[in-house]
Amino acid sequence: MTDNLVLVGYMGAGKSTIGRSYANKYNMKYIDTDDYIENHEHSSISDIFQAKGEKYFRQLETTVISELISNEQNAVISTGGGMPMREENQILLGKLGTVIFLKASMESIWDRVRNDTKRPLLQCDNPKGRIIDMLRVRNPIYTKCADICVETDNKSIEEIISIIERSLL
Ligand code: S3P
């Protein structure tokens, strides 16, 4: 049995903010899969994408999830927005813990990521159009692999955490 909580959702949905707060409140360990990869590779996500390509990064994501399954208990784990896209990872995420989908609207995601330079997939000519296209593909996948879905628009961190708490009862 694992008591891990696993946060999934699109870039800018608030996974890191909510994950850190939740872990803090319950004195749990907090792990961010992007940070984990950056530490292991001694390189930023942008540099990994640029030097080795997205496919290499996706393989690292699968490796990280497998390692966390073996090593972690009672942790809050925030995952990169593309983590559940591989079918293999969907199964692994379910083994890692209770999967929570933090669902945000296009508008609130756009507000949070519009000035971001650290997310390689959004460094393109029409990032807004890209987000719309990606959400269309990804939202059903996040929903499918999650045990719990929390809509985060117009909610405070405390409200979101309290919805998660009630859903876990
Ligand atoms: C990605 C999301 C990013 C990071 C990478 C790819 C994605 O993580 O893993 O840039 O495919 O959605 P965040 O969701 O933490 O921004």
Which ligand 1 atom minimizes the distance to the CA of 54? 6
Q: What integer pLDDT is reported at residue 1 of this predicted model? A: 47
Which ligand 1 atom minimizes the distance to the CA of 85? 11
pLDDT tens sequence for the chain (169 residues): 469 999 999 999 999 999 999 999 999 999 999 999 999 999 999 999 999 999 999 999 999 999 999 999 999 999 999 999 999 999 999 999 999 999 999 999 999 999 999 999 999 999 999 999 999 999 999 999 999 999 999 999 999 999 999 999 9
- Give the pTM: 0.97
Question: What residues form DSSP beta bridges with 8?
Answer: 101
- Name residues contacting ligand 1 (CB within 6 A): 11, 15, 34, 45, 80-82, 119-121
Q: What integer pLDDT is reported at residue 32 of this predicted model? A: 98
Which ligand 1 atom minimizes the distance to the CA of 79? 15
Q: Is 101 helix (H, G, I), strand (E, B) or coil?
A: strand
Q: 163-166, long-range: CB within 8 Å, 24+ apart, which pairs?
A: 164/5, 164/18, 164/22, 164/100
Q: How many helices (H) and strands (E) does the chain have?
A: 8, 5
What DSSP character marks residue 84? G
> What is the torsion angle, in degrees rounded to the nearest 10, for the CA atoms of residue 101, residue 107, residue 112 and residue 114?
130
Distance from residue 167's CA to the centre of ligand 1 (Å): 26
